[in-house]
Structure formats: structure tokens, C-alpha cells
A and B are shown apart, each in its own frame.
Chain A
Amino acid sequence: MKTLTDAWDWLTAHWAGDDGIWHRLTQHLVLTVVCLVISCLIALPVGLVLGHLGKGGALAVNISNVGRAVPTFAVLVLLLLTPIGKWGEGPTVVALVLFAVPPLLTNAYVGMREVDRDVVRAARGMGMTGRQMLWRVEVPLATPMILNGVRIAAVQLVATATIAALAGGGGLGRIITAGFNLASTPQVVAGAVLVAVFALLVEGLFETAERLAPKRGSR
């Protein structure tokens, strides 16, 4: 109980400054959003086109399994020791994108492939070109699955950005690692609560978006 009240005291007293909650929260948010956009720009076109053509399925599906076996922390430290490590947040951004791409790619591919083949054939029979089929039929029907991939990627990004603090990156994880260095349990717990709430908010946001999305698709 003592720890909880101490953690609450810490939470209420440390919002300002370079090590303050506001600064770390903004860093975390910016990192997550920027990397999510970069990852989507890389993964979605590839996943959608592969799914549309029905090619490269083994790659698109297995890349997720490979991503799971590689420890995030190890990748962060490896990148830190390479020349990329000299560019400030460089290793963090690269690692975040690396871990966000697999779920995006896999879900986009699977979503495209799971579109009812009869619907696709009907679209082709109506004389739609490949491009029209992709944008008017397949993508709208695959949207729930694609959004699910974006949600998984976003949650993964928040988690990876937290671990980045272990390797010197910014973000909310920094509050936790600083707490460990100071042997201050209240600060560690306060940081952990912030990270957990942030992750759950992101998850909740996407869950709401997913609930609203099918209505547009099945208009």
C-alpha cells in the first residue's frame, strides 16, 4: 500500500522538465505515431499487392513468426552498436519499424486473401480492371483485417518504444529505467502505470476504430 501511495505522489509531482512526464509522453507518442506511419507506408503496399496477386504468401505469413523469435531488446542493442547508433534516436526508429512491419504485412496479406473468391470473380466478370478490383472490392472487404494488423503493430510499437529506454532511447520507458537506476520503487511503479495506461489507451482506440470500420465496408 505504501508503494502505491508513494507512486501516486511521484505521479502527481513530476510532470514538468526534460525528465518530466509530459516530455516523455510526447516523445513516446511521437515515436509511436511516426514509426507507425513509416511502417504502414512500407508494409501495406507490399501486403496489399502480394495479396492481390496471390504471390509471396509464405514470406508474408512467416515473417511474423520470425519477428516473434527475435528479441526486441537484442535488436535494439545490436543496432546501437552499429554506425546507426550514432544518430540519436536512429536505432530506436529502425527497431520499431522492424517490429511493426511483420504484423502489418501478414494481416494485409491474409485479409486480401480471405476476401470471398466469388466476389472477386464477380468483380472480374463485371469487367473491373485489376486496379479497380483492388481499391473498390478487395481493400474495403479486407479493411477489418488490415486494421487489426495496424492495432497489433501499434501495441507492438508502444511496447518496443518502452524497451528502447533500456538501450538509451527516449519515451516513457525512461522513467522506469531511471527509477531502477535510482533504486526508487515508487518511480518504477509510476512509470510502469503510465506505460500500461498508454498501451491500453492505444489498444482501446483501435478497438473502437475497428468496431466503426465494418459499417463503412458493408454500406
Chain B
Amino acid sequence: MTAPPDDCLARNEWICGEYLSTRREILLDAVGQHLQLTALSVLIGLAVAVPLAVLARRWALTAGPVLAVTTVLYTIPSLAMFSLLLPVYGLSAALVVAGLVLYSLTLLVRNLLAGLRAVPEETRQAARGMGYGPIRLLLTVELPLALPAAMAGLRIATVSAVSLATVGAIVGFGGLGNLIYAGMNTYFKAQVLTASVLCVVIAVAADLLLLGVQWLITPWTRAKRG
């Protein structure tokens, strides 16, 4: 009979270097799943939000319903949202992605629409006067000018998605949320704290990354100051 090792794992401490070294693979897998879930859902959300915002901008009649539906979706608590999608997707990663897409839609559509609406009428008229058709106007004038507002929405949507993905643990696809859920049931403090901190780190890193991207793709916003 050997005595149990007297390390921080055995003592169930909050901060534990031993945990990091022995559970590295589990942590990396969870981080990978977390990143996949968030990135996929934000990208799909963006792909759906852009046409919706353009539609709402072009035909004022559609703006009301589009905003109303996305607001209703945003009001539904995440746990209920994932549960409502259960009959459609079953216990799968697709369920979590679909739920996160619906959340990011609200933030993205609202910010995109605000950005498009903020494009000055003079700018639009100038482009039309230069012979721009509606599609060229949209792609080369309106959408670029809406970028700062859209990027602000994208940053909020991404940070929210990182944090909401943890609730996916209810169906077993929550990335780091899975570790938190498992850690809760086994009273494993180091695992819960490490996974929670990693979640916040991912959210902050994603936010900074998008801020950098915004800096790169909107050179005109800093030309004024320089």
C-alpha cells in the first residue's frame, strides 16, 4: 500500500501546476473545441447577417421584422435556446453552433444596419454621380464605410460566443465548459478555475485580434489623426 502523492492535485487546490502538466492534452482538446465552436458560429452568423442587414437597409419595410425577430432570439436564455434546438439537431456540436449563430445574429445585424445607415447621403449621391451601380455602391462604398460599426458588433458577438459556448456542456459540446461541468461534479477546483481562466483569456485574445484586424482593414480611420 503506497501513500497517495502529496501534491496540489491530491490537496485539491485552486491553482495547480501539476494539473497543467498532467492534463495538457485534455485542456488543449477543450480549447480546440471551444475555438472551433466559436469561430464557426461567428462566421456563419456573419454570412447570414450581412445579407439580412443589406436587405433591411434597402427595403425599409423589412427592417422592423428583421430587428424584431433577432431581438426576440436574443432575449431567449442560452440554456433554453440550446434545449429548443434539441429536437432538430439532437445531442451534437451542430446544436451548439446553431444556438450561437442565432445569438450573434442580433448583435451583427444591429451593428451592420447602424453602420449602413450612418453612411452620409452625400457620399452615396457622389458615388451615384460617378456612375456607380447599386451593387458597386454597396460593395465599394457602403460596406467599407460601415466597417467600424460592423467590427464593433463582431467583437461583441465573438466575446459573447466564447462565453456562451460553455453552456454547450449540457449537450456535451461546450469546449472548456465540458471541463467546468465535469469539474463541478467531481469538486475538482483546479480544473474549474483553469478552464474558466482559459475562457476569459480566449475572449480577450479574440477581442484584441479583431481590434488588430479592424486597425488593418480600416486605414482611413487613422489617417485623419496622423
- On A, residues with C-beta under 8 Å from B are 3-4, 65, 68-75, 77-78, 80-81, 155, 158-159, 162-163, 165-167, 173, 176-177, 179-180, 185, 188-189, 191-193, 195-196, 199-200, 203
Contacts and interface: CB of A to CB of B under 8 A. Distances in A.
Contacts of A163: 77-79, 167
Given A69-B200, A166-B170, A159 B78 contact: yes
B161 to A, nearest CB: 10
Interface residues of B, number: 39
A71 B196 contact: yes
A73 B189 CA distance: 15
B105 interface: no
Main DSSP-derived SS at the B contact region: helix
Contact of A166 (B79, B159, B193): B79
Given A3-B87, A166-B170, A185-B86, A74 B195 contact: yes
9 contacts: A69-B207, A73-B167, A77-B183, A166-B79, A188-B86, A189-B84, A191-B80, A195-B80, A200-B75
Main DSSP-derived SS at the A contact region: helix
Contact of A70 (B72, B75, B76, B163): B163
A133 B54 CA distance: 44
B87 A185 contact: yes
A85 B164 CA distance: 22
Contacts of A177: 170
A192 B184 contact: no
Interface string B192-203: 110110011001
Contacts of A4: 87
Nearest to A177: B170
Given A162-B79, A176-B79, A200-B75, A69 B203 contact: yes
Contacts of B171: 180
B177 interface: yes
B83 A176 contact: yes
Contacts of B78: 159, 162-163
Given A162-B77, A199-B75, A74 B196 contact: yes
A167 to B, nearest CB: 6
Contacts of A159: 77-79
A196 B199 contact: no
B87 A199 contact: no
